[in-house]
C-alpha cells in the first residue's frame, strides 16, 4: 500500500537517516542545553546590580553570544570546517555536524535563558539572600527551579530549530534526513523520497513539541 505511494523510497536507508537525524538532534540539544545554560547564567549574574555584577565579563559574554547568534547557520558550518577537522579528524558523518550545531544553537539558547532568568521575581532572590544563601545555592535552588518552565520551553524551541539545522548540515556530508532528501530526492528527481523525509521531520518536530509542552505543564506550579 505505502510502497505504491512511495515507489522509490529505500526504507532501510530512510530509517538509517531518521536515526542519524535523531542522534544529531539529541546530542546537539544536550550540549546546547548545558553550554547555553552556563552562558545564560553568566550573562544574567554579571549584569548590573546582580550577584556577580561585572562589566567586562558581561560585555565579553554578550559579544560572544551576539556574534555567533548572528552568523547564518549555513555560513557558520563552512567557517567551522577547519575547527571540526581539528577536533574530530574528519568533516563527514553525524558527529562532524555537532560542533557547528552546538556553536550555532548554544548562544541562541543562552539568550532565552537570560530572558527566563530576568523574568524571576527579584524579591525571591532577595529573600534567599536574606536567609544567608550562597550564590551557588541561589543558582541551583532559586534561579533554575523558578525559571524552569521558560527554560524547558526555550530548549524545546531550540531543539526544533536544531532539527532544521541538521538538515542544513547535510551539505558537509553530515547524513540524516536532510542529506537524504537532497541527494536521493532532489538531485535524482525522486519527489516521493523528499516527501517521505519531510513527513518524518515533521513527525519528529511534533513529538518534540508535545514532550516540551507536557514537561512545561508538569513543572509549572504557578
Partner 1 sequence: MINLKDVNKIFGAQNNAIKAVDDVSLDIADGEIFGIIGYSGAGKSTLIRMLNGLETPTTGSIQIGGLEISSIKGRELREARQKVSMIFQHFNLLWSRTVKENIAFPLEIAGVKKAERDRKVTELIELVGLAGRENAYPSQLSGGQKQRVGIARALANDPEVLLCDEATSALDPETTDAILELLTSINERLGLTIVLITHEMHVIRKICHRVAVMEAGKVVELGNVLDVFQSPQEPITRRFVSQLTEPEAAKQAMTHIKEEFPEGTLLKLVFVGERTEQPVLADLIRQFDIDVNIVQGNISHTHGGAYGTLILQLIGNDETIQEAMNYLHGKDVQTEVIGND
| Contact positions vs partner 1 (CB under 8 A) | 121, 123-124, 126-134, 137, 141-142, 145-146, 148, 219, 221-222
- The CB-of-47 to partner 1 minimum distance in angstroms stands at 19
How far apart (Å, rounded) are the C-alpha atoms in residues 62 and 105?
15
Q: Provide the minimum distance between the beta carbon of 144 and partner 1 in the complex, in angstroms, as a whole number.
A: 9
Cα 47 to Cα 25: distance, rounded to the nearest angstrom: 31
Q: Which is nearer to partner 1, 101 or 117 (CB)?
A: 117
| Surface-to-core class of residue 38, CB atoms within 10 Å of its CB (0-12 exposed, 13-18 middle, 19+ buried) | middle
CA distance 203 to 207: 6
Rounded least distance, CB 147 to partner 1, Å: 9
Smallest distance from partner 1 to CB 146, Å: 6
Give the CA diameter of the chain. 69
Cβ neighbors of 199 (< 8 A, separation 6 or more) are none
Q: Which residue, 13 or 218, has its beta carbon nearer to partner 1?
A: 218
Q: How far is the CB of 164 from partner 1 (least distance, A)?
A: 32
Residue nearer to partner 1 on the CB measure, 134 or 217: 134
* Nearer Cβ to partner 1 (48/221): 221
Write out the three cell numbers for 74: 549555513
Nearer to partner 1, 2 or 49 (CB): 49
Nearest to 200 by CA among 155, 166, 172: 166
Amino acid at each position: 500500500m505505502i510502497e505504491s505511494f512511495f515507489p522509490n523510497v529505500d526504507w532501510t536507508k530512510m530509517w538509517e537517516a531518521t536515526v542519524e537525524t535523531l542522534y544529531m538532534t539529541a546530542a546537539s540539544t544536550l550540549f546546547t542545553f548545558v553550554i547555553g545554560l552556563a552562558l545564560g547564567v553568566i550573562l544574567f549574574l554579571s549584569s548590573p546590580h546582580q550577584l556577580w555584577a561585572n562589566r567586562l565579563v558581561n560585555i565579553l559574554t554578550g559579544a560572544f553570544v551576539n556574534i555567533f547568534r548572528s552568523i547564518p547557520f549555513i555560513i557558520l558550518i563552512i567557517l567551522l570546517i577547519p575547527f571540526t577537522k581539528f577536533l574530530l579528524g574528519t568533516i563527514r558523518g553525524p558527529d562532524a555536524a555537532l560542533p557547528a550545531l552546538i556553536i550555532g544553537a548554544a548562544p541562541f539558547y543562552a539568550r532565552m535563558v537570560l530572558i527566563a532568568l530576568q523574568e524571576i521575581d527579584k524579591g525571591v532572590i532577595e529573600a534567599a539572600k536574606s536567609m544567608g544563601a550562597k550564590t551557588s545555592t541561589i543558582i541551583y535552588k532559586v534561579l533554575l527551579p523558578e525559571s524552569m518552565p521558560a527554560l524547558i520551553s526555550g530548549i524545546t524551541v531550540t531543539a526544533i530549530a536544531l532539527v532544521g539545522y541538521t538538515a542544513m548540515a547535510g551539505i558537509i556530508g553530515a547524513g540524516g534526513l536532510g542529506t537524504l532528501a537532497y541527494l536521493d530526492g532532489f538531485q535524482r528527481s525522486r519527489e516521493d523520497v523528499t516527501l517521505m523525509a519531510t513527513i518524518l521531520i515533521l513527525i519528529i518536530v511534533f513529538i518534540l513539541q508535545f514532550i516540551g509542552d507536557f514537561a512545561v505543564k508538569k513543572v509549572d506550579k504557578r
